[in-house]
Structure 1
Amino acid sequence: MEAPTDITLHQKSKVLEVEYPDGANYKLPLEYLRVYSPSAEVRGHGGPMELVTGKRDVGVTSIEPVGNYAVQLNFDDGHNTGIFSWETLRELGDNYEDNWNEYLGRLEKAEASRDKLWH
């Protein structure tokens, strides 16, 4: 998988823009990247994927390169264990609409919210 030609973090709109050499361009909401983090914690350690809730306003404090194959996103909620390979970012971009609709369905079924609940 070819590396992106550009990765831009848009802090105000909370979007990560990823451009590939073939012209593919994805504007991925940070909330989407957080709930679909490739970390074992979110992916369920081989079991069902964890339903991550309350991340509508999540941000990214920094992006760190991981070798020549990935980036690590450091989210402002403390999550920083997901390594987003070029292939993972491409898959998340290619499947954004289906993944997002599936996530919204899972939230509804669990009667959960995208908004942070304060106690």
Structure 2
Amino acid sequence: MDLQGLSKQLAIPKHWLELASMTRTWAAAFCQVTTLSADAILAVLERGDARRKPERFAQSVHISCQSLIIDSAEQTQILGLWQRLVQETAKVSLPETASGLSGQDIKAMIRAEQLRRIEATCDRN
């Protein structure tokens, strides 16, 4: 289905189009969060723009869970886990030890800390 073409024909608001596109792309990953690697989770968070648009991200996870998971307790568990993952990875900031490092080194430090927080949040230690 061509969402762009359909949105023009039906005058769908941009927010709804973004939400539909994101949900279509990430629904399976959202619902399988407990089996994803930390790298895969971080990729979903980054590509889903969870830090900049956490409300849209949460809406997409919610829609995905309601569509693909029948058990409401499991839905609640998955929604809560994604919420904690968004919160924990958003807390990561530039470390004090980063002064004098290159941009790539700083990016690697931040990524390593985000992955560590994902592992801890998913209780994989």
Quickly name the TM-score band, shorter chain normalised.
under 0.3
The structure where helix makes up a greater share of residues is: 2
In the superposition, the TM-score normalised over structure 1's length comes to 0.28
Calculate the TM-score normalised by the size of structure 2: 0.27
Higher relative contact order (CA 8 A, sep 6+): 2
